Chain A
Amino acid sequence: MNLPVIIKFVIDLLAVLLLALGIKGLSKVKSARDANRLAAFAMLLSVVGLISYYLGTSGIAIQSWIWIIIGSIIGSLFGAILAKKVPMTSMPETVALFNGCGGMSSLLVALGVAIFPISGGQENIDFFKSLINEVSISVSIFVGAITFTGSIVAMAKLQGWLSTPGWTQSKVRHFVNIVFAVASLIAFFDLINGNTSSIWLLVIVSSLLGIGVTLPIGGADMPVVISLLNSYSGIAAAAAGFVVDSQLLIVAGAMVGAAGLILTQVMCKGMNRSLVSVLFGGSLSAQSTASSGSGEYTNITSCSVEECALTLEAANKVIIVPGYGLAVAQAQHTLREVTKKLEQSGIEVVYAIHPVAGRMPGHMNVLLAEADVPYEQLKEMDVVNPDFPATDVVLVLGANDVVNPQAKNDSSSPLYGMPVLDVQEARTVFVIKRGMSAGYSGIKNDLFDLPNTSMVFGDAKKVLNDLIGELKDLGVGEK
């Protein structure tokens, strides 16, 4: 072993250690931010390690430097700009986009190696000589392509650019996807047999498979899909590691792949969905239109902002249930104003956070943190549920499915079994909502029909602003 090899070995080992510590630290609130930086540093370290290794052994041609710099600058620049500009509300689709690009990168590496077998070099990278290389190239292309197209479809659906086409809800989709899967298997074996041109077939059918699998999945399940695709991109990276013979890539890829899988599992549990039903069950709303005939509301009570303010003034304990609608209306800051007023007049205010509030687990926490809501006021579902009977007023803001009592009472409901917030136990429930449209799952919410529920119709931000005015008139929070 010569010196550059030893140095690279040490750096790689250090990078793996730091990456592992980074992932570990990211799972605790206190250490999360430092851990993220640590992981970023580890990545930088790994690049330095690789570059110094090549400088010390084969050297890097000027031409290579030029292309390295071009690629790095463009990629980093766009990444940084997007990361700075994107609003917190569209975080899930942003993660999906980043993720897709990671998959694309693995795909391109494998493709490059496959089309232009590299000659010479210091290491013994003689591609297409061994079965292993062909297999790892195929896996890298297959997983990379699925990650890319799947993530892009997921992003487009979350952005609302793409709806769920009708045919994808019928059984036809299984047939179509099976055809794609079989075709990629054929391309895979053809490739191993030495038919290089079938690589394009593999690229095309695995891309189509990524689209075909993601397209039928309903919006409510998208976070799970993104998490799963995230896991895939780790697998794609590990496969690329086999292609270029890099242990670091394999370890890091495998770590992300496994961690992503666990995270997916955790998310599924939070939504009471199995991974299988998310992947193959189609969208929830499609099932519900078939299963539950009780689509009409019979007993809606609507009330004015004024009444809402009066009830709030008389309350001792208020629980806020924020949902994605709040985030869409960008009303989290206005909400904070309202709760400040209530707190100032001695009313206890707590935020009830459903595990999947927003579009992604933890998404709502991020949004409320952005509005300076103290961490202690955010209560998780299991903690807050026993408190509802002793609560005077619940304000439901842009949340819907997570407060649907159907999930507990109606075994025929597609939501049945999903953990929900028991808001109906409270004395009074105000639902601030634009109209009577169904929630993300497309399912009717029985809560709205209950006698202790009143609807306040209007845009969340506007209603909250009016509420501030009314509370001011009542003298709340001005002692």
Chain B
Amino acid sequence: MSFISLLWVLLLGSLLGLELIGKVPPTLHTPLMSGANAISGITMLAALTLIVKAEGNVPLLIIGSVSLGFALFNVVGGFFVTDRMLAMFSRKPSNKK
């Protein structure tokens, strides 16, 4: 990919992000933040790339592995915690008398 097309990707991605969140009920601010936060752990792909391309360079392998750990901590924890929060909302209808 040329740099210019990557810039296009960046631009369109940003516009998409701006467009996706128009009206959010305050109820969902915390889960949304936490869910979006989990997605930002997508850097795990970069960490993976680093490890695969390290070619036996041990310090690089370690850096990649630590980075992968941090990213997955973010991703797994983020999605779980969001799910925990949202589970409480979805329980509600059954409570109606």
Binding site for B on A (CB under 8 A): 19-20, 22-24, 26-29, 32-33, 35-37, 39-40, 43, 46-47, 50-51, 54, 58, 60-61, 63-64, 67-68, 70-72, 74-76, 78-80, 82-84, 86, 88, 91-92, 94-95, 98-99, 101-102, 104-106, 108-109, 111-113, 115-116, 118-121, 125, 130, 132, 226-227, 230, 233-234, 236-238, 240-263, 266-267, 270, 353, 355, 360-363, 365-366, 369-370, 372, 374-376, 378, 380
Report the interface size for chain B: residues with CB under 8 A from the other chain. Answer: 88
Chain B contacts for A82, CB-based, 8 A: 73, 77, 81
From B22, which residue of chain A is reached at the shortest CB distance?
Answer: A27
CA distance in complex: A102, B39 (Å): 9
CA distance in complex: A208, B72 (Å): 25
Chain B contacts for A366, CB-based, 8 A: 30-31, 85, 88-89
Chain B contacts for A258, CB-based, 8 A: 13-18
CA distance in complex: A51, B52 (Å): 9
Chain A contacts for B41, CB-based, 8 A: 43, 98, 101-102, 105, 237
CA distance in complex: A75, B66 (Å): 8
A32 to chain B, nearest CB (A): 5
Contact A76 B17 (CB under 8 A): no
Partner of B20, one of A27, A71, A104, A119: A27
Contact A353 B3 (CB under 8 A): no
B18 to chain A, nearest CB (A): 5
Chain B contacts for A363, CB-based, 8 A: 30
Contact B17 A370 (CB under 8 A): no
Chain A contacts for B3, CB-based, 8 A: 130, 132
Partner of B75, one of A67, A79, A109: A79
Contact B29 A263 (CB under 8 A): yes
Contact B54 A118 (CB under 8 A): yes
Given A94-B81, A234-B40, the answer on whether A47 and B35 have CB atoms closer than 8 Å is no
Contact A68 B65 (CB under 8 A): yes
As a 0/1 sequence over residues 51 to 63 of chain B, the CB contacts with chain A under 8 angstroms (1 = contact) are: 1111111011111
Given contacts A36-B86, A363-B30, 19 further A-B contacts (CB under 8 A): A29-B28, A33-B87, A39-B79, A43-B79, A47-B48, A61-B55, A61-B56, A64-B61, A83-B81, A102-B70, A105-B74, A115-B63, A238-B10, A254-B9, A254-B10, A254-B12, A256-B39, A362-B25, A374-B96
From B96, which residue of chain A is reached at the shortest CB distance?
Answer: A374
Chain B contacts for A252, CB-based, 8 A: 13, 39-40, 42
Chain B contacts for A88, CB-based, 8 A: 84-85
CA distance in complex: A45, B46 (Å): 15
Question: Chain B: interface secondary structure?
Answer: helix
CA distance in complex: A267, B47 (Å): 32
Chain A contacts for B71, CB-based, 8 A: 75, 101-102, 105
Contact B63 A111 (CB under 8 A): yes
22 contacts between A and B (CB under 8 A): A46-B42, A61-B56, A63-B61, A64-B51, A76-B75, A79-B73, A83-B80, A88-B84, A98-B81, A112-B60, A116-B54, A116-B59, A116-B60, A233-B37, A243-B46, A249-B42, A256-B40, A262-B17, A263-B24, A360-B30, A370-B88, A378-B27
CA distance in complex: A359, B76 (Å): 23
CA distance in complex: A68, B61 (Å): 9
A148 to chain B, nearest CB (A): 9
A449 to chain B, nearest CB (A): 29
Contact A250 B9 (CB under 8 A): yes
A123 to chain B, nearest CB (A): 9
B11 to chain A, nearest CB (A): 8
Contact B6 A50 (CB under 8 A): no
Partner of A64, one of B39, B54, B74: B54
Contact A78 B73 (CB under 8 A): yes
CA distance in complex: A79, B81 (Å): 9
CA distance in complex: A368, B97 (Å): 17
Contact A58 B52 (CB under 8 A): yes
CA distance in complex: A425, B50 (Å): 61
B62 to chain A, nearest CB (A): 7
Contact A32 B31 (CB under 8 A): yes
Contact A230 B35 (CB under 8 A): no
Given A36-B86, A71-B68, A262-B21, the answer on whether A79 and B46 have CB atoms closer than 8 Å is no
Contact A263 B32 (CB under 8 A): yes
Chain A contacts for B90, CB-based, 8 A: 33
CA distance in complex: A163, B71 (Å): 28
Chain A contacts for B83, CB-based, 8 A: 33, 36-37
Contact A108 B63 (CB under 8 A): yes
Contact A105 B51 (CB under 8 A): no
Contact B21 A102 (CB under 8 A): no
Contact B39 A75 (CB under 8 A): no
Contact A106 B26 (CB under 8 A): no
